[in-house]
């Protein structure tokens, strides 16, 4: 290959490389598989790094099976819920461009006897507040024998988003079962 051929080859290939390189998203979730603990000194800490939580019994689990990938997952202990309040986790992600469709997903798995009302995936404006998109999944839409990918899609009006997993417990006091979550993802 002479010098002219090499220059032409590079000139033709450079735009292809540039297009592929610029399509990589600038924002991504931190700790999407809930492997890392918020307490780095304590592997079994029940708080997942970068996933603030609220409500009762929404924990990072190190001994539950089957994990979708890795050794940990997020677990909701529905049988332990005393009040009727929601529980959940969230993460703020800057760098998601305004007016661009983004998809937040997570794999979910329920115990056979789980009688929670629903799992909601929600996309809000960065920092919380304005709801951009929400999808609610009843227990009938989840599976007790395999991981199911659940998804919500929405476009923020301003840069950045907050993604949430929200669990609404059963209305009755006779709550049973658990929910498991693994491999969260955000793409745009």
Assess if residue 113 is contained within a domain. yes
pLDDT at 91: 98
Q: Does 18 map to a domain?
A: no
Separation between Cα atoms, residue 92 and residue 70, nearest integer Å? 23
Give the CATH number of the domain where residue 173 resides: 2.60.120.260
Phi, psi torsion values for 73, nearest 5 degrees? -160, 175
% of the chain beyond a pLDDT of 70: 86
Q: How many Cβ atoms from other residues are within 10 Å of residue 159's Cβ?
A: 15
Task: Return mean pLDDT, the chain.
Answer: 88
Calpha distance 1→138 (Å, rounded)? 62
Residue 66 lies in a domain: yes
pLDDT (tens digit per residue) in 21-62: 334 444 799 999 999 999 888 878 899 999 999 999 999 999
Domain range for residue 137?
27-187
In a domain, 17, yes or no: no
Whether 134 is in a domain gets the answer yes
Peptide bond before residue 118 is cis, with ω within 30 degrees of 0 = no
Residue 14 lies in a domain: no
- Residue 8 in 3-state DSSP? helix
- Which ranges in the chain belong to alpha helices (H)? 3-22
Residue 3 binned pLDDT confidence (cut-offs 50, 70, 90): very low
| Entry pTM | 0.85
Asked whether residue 1 is domain-assigned, the answer is no
13 pLDDT higher than 50: no
Q: What confidence category does residue 101 fall into, taking pLDDT thresholds of 50, 70 and 90?
A: very high
For residue 154, being part of any structural domain is answered with yes
Torsion sign across C-alpha atoms 112, 33, 156, 103: negative
């Amino acid at each position: 290959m002479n010098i002219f051929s090499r220059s032409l080859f590079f000139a033709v290939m450079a735009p292809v490389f540039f297009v592929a390189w610029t399509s990589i998203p600038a924002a991504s979730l931190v700790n999407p598989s809930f492997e890392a603990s918020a307490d780095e000194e304590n592997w079994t800490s029940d708080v997942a790094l970068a996933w603030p939580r609220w409500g009762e019994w929404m924990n990072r689990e190190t001994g539950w099976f089957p994990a979708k990938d890795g050794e940990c997952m997020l677990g909701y202990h529905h049988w332990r819920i005393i009040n009727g309040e929601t529980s959940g986790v969230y993460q703020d992600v800057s760098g998601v461009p305004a007016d661009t469709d983004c998809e937040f997903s997570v794999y979910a798995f329920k115990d056979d006897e789980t009688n929670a009302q629903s799992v909601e995936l929600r996309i809000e404006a960065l920092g919380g507040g304005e709801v951009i998109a929400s999808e609610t999944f009843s227990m009938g839409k989840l599976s007790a024998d395999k991981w199911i990918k659940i998804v919500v899609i929405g476009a923020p009006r301003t840069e950045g988003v907050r993604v949430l997993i929200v669990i609404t417990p059963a209305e009755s006091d006779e709550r049973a079962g658990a929910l498991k979550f693994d491999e969260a993802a955000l793409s745009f």
